[in-house]
Amino acid sequence: MKIGLVGFAGSGKTTVFNTMTGLDVPVGFGGEVRIGTVRVPDERIDRLHGIFHPKKTTYAEMSFCDVPGEHGAEKKGLSPKTLQQIRDQEALCLVLRDFDNPALEGKPDPLGDLEAFHTECVFADLEMIDKRLQRAKKEHASPSEVAAFQVAHAALESERPLRSIPEAELDRGLFKGFGLLTDRPLLVAVNVAEDHASAPMPPDLERRIKELDAAGLTLCASVEADIATMGAAEQAEFLRELGIEASALDRFIRTAYGLLDLIAYFTVGEDEVRAWTVTRGTKARRAAGKIHSDLERGFIRAEVIPYATFLEHGSEAAVKSAGKLRVEGQDYVVQDGDILHVRFNV
């Protein structure tokens, strides 16, 4: 999963990037597009590692892309270049400034910034959809295609994000490759001042984030960026002192998994213990394709042990002799924590 950190200059995108990745990229205006990958902490993988002692242990990964805003202190506005970089992201994390930044004029206005960002995205999408709608009409496209563009157009005209239109009401297949901004899953990170590090989300922001079908969390990026460079024990101590329940990275990943409806399944063995990320509802054949396309193509069956069952019995052999190993076909819906063995033939 690739998440783009977006937002206006000076909102703390690069600081959030450092927080998430534990890197130390220089903050301040400008900068270049940077990508950092973090492993998704998962204590189930830790446990499985302890049981199998595999040669290799692989956690799920999440990539963050720091998309710099405009140069200079011009707060509002996204250039065509920035918009294009934002289109390349699978999901967006909008960083909102809720702290005093001496380099910027004006008080923090996270709600106003959220509105401004949303409006920019709506206009960019509207322009795109409008063009496509006109073309579809001119070229006498099928009525269903024209209708889909009209549904999208109407939503955007009333400033509703496309992500809020249910699957059944919009044929998204037609929009592939358009890079529509308001259709991207959106996570809003409210970047607060040090003395608000553990404050809850302000209710007005919370309400608006919900209306936009986004997910939200608050963090103090500058404090958390410092924490990110500490060892685990020191980190826990520091967080407790500040009254923060979990590190920004942990909370971010939890929120992102919820927003994107992601689950993990595992493969285990002496060679490797590994987590694989899929969307909830993914069927076994498709999920197997994550591991290798051959496994999807030549899928025969999946042998499934839920994580809890595995722990209860302690080994695959014990699960088998207890009659708890399940054999599932291609349409089995993979569950969070399933340990899978895919049988295939190509």
Nearer to ligand GDP, 70 or 213 (CB): 70
Give me the helices (H) in 13-142, please: 13-21, 43-52, 80-87, 110-138
Nearer to ligand GDP, 40 or 248 (CB): 248
Nearer to ligand GDP, 35 or 318 (CB): 35
Least distance between ligand GDP and beta carbon 212 (Å) = 20
Using left for φ > 0, alpha for ψ between -120 and 50, and beta otherwise, residue 195 falls in alpha
- For 283, how many CA atoms within 13 A lie in the half-sphere containing its CB? 9
Of all residues in the shown chain, the one whose CB is closest to Mg ion is 14
How many CB atoms are located within 10 Å of the residue 149 CB? 23
Least distance between ligand GDP and beta carbon 189 (Å) = 10
Beta bridge partners of 34: 66
- Please give the helix or strand (H or E) that residue 340 lies within, else none: strand 338-344
Q: Using CB distances below 5 to 8 A depending on partner kind, what does residue 101 bind out of ligand GDP, Mg ion, none?
A: ligand GDP
- Please give, one letter per residue, the 3-state secondary structure of 71-90: CCCCCCCCCHHHHHHHHCCC
Near ligand GDP by CB under 6 A: residue from 48, 189, 220, 228: 220
Taking alpha carbons only, the member of 298, 345, 296, 305 closest to residue 325 is 305
Near ligand GDP by CB under 6 A: residue from 1, 51, 151, 193: 193
Residue 297, C-beta contacts closer than 8 angstroms, at least 6 positions apart: 344, 346
Q: Which residue carries 């069927």 as its tokens? A: 283
Segment lying near ligand GDP (by CB under 6 A), choices 217-225, 277-285, 301-309, 320-328: 217-225
CB neighbour burial string for 35-74, b if at least 16 within 10 angstroms, e if fewer: ebebebebebbeebbeebebeebbbbebbbbbbbbbeeee
Nearer to ligand GDP, 14 or 282 (CB): 14
Near Mg ion by CB under 5 A: residue from 4, 10, 31, 216: 31
- For 278, how many CA atoms within 13 A lie in the half-sphere containing its CB? 21
Residue 157 near residue 129, CB atoms below 8 Å: no
Least distance between ligand GDP and beta carbon 27 (Å) = 3
Nearer to Mg ion, 26 or 243 (CB): 26
Query: How far is residue 341's CA from residue 303's CA, in Å, rounded to a whole number?
Result: 5
- By the rule CB under 6 A, 222 interacts with ligand GDP: yes
Least distance between Mg ion and beta carbon 29 (Å) = 7
Name residues contacting ligand GDP, limited to 5-34 (CB under 6 A). Answer: 7, 9-15, 27-29
Q: Using CB distances below 5 to 8 A depending on partner kind, what does residue 220 bind out of Mg ion, ligand GDP, none?
A: ligand GDP
Least distance between Mg ion and beta carbon 67 (Å) = 9
Residue 221 near residue 14, CB atoms below 8 Å: no
Q: Using CB distances below 5 to 8 A depending on partner kind, what does residue 222 bind out of Mg ion, ligand GDP, none?
A: ligand GDP
Q: Hey, what are 89's tokens?
A: 């992201």
Least distance between ligand GDP and beta carbon 69 (Å) = 6
Chain Cα centroid distance, residue 254: 9
Name residues contacting ligand GDP, limited to 288-327 (CB under 6 A). Answer: none
Instruction: Write the binding mask 54 to 93 for Mg ion: x where contact by CB under 5 A, - elsewhere.
Output: --------------x-------------------------
- By the rule CB under 5 A, 14 interacts with Mg ion: yes
Rule CB under 6 A: which residues touch ligand GDP?
7, 9-15, 27-29, 69, 99, 101, 191, 193-194, 220-222
Contact footprint for Mg ion (CB under 5 A): 13-14, 31, 68
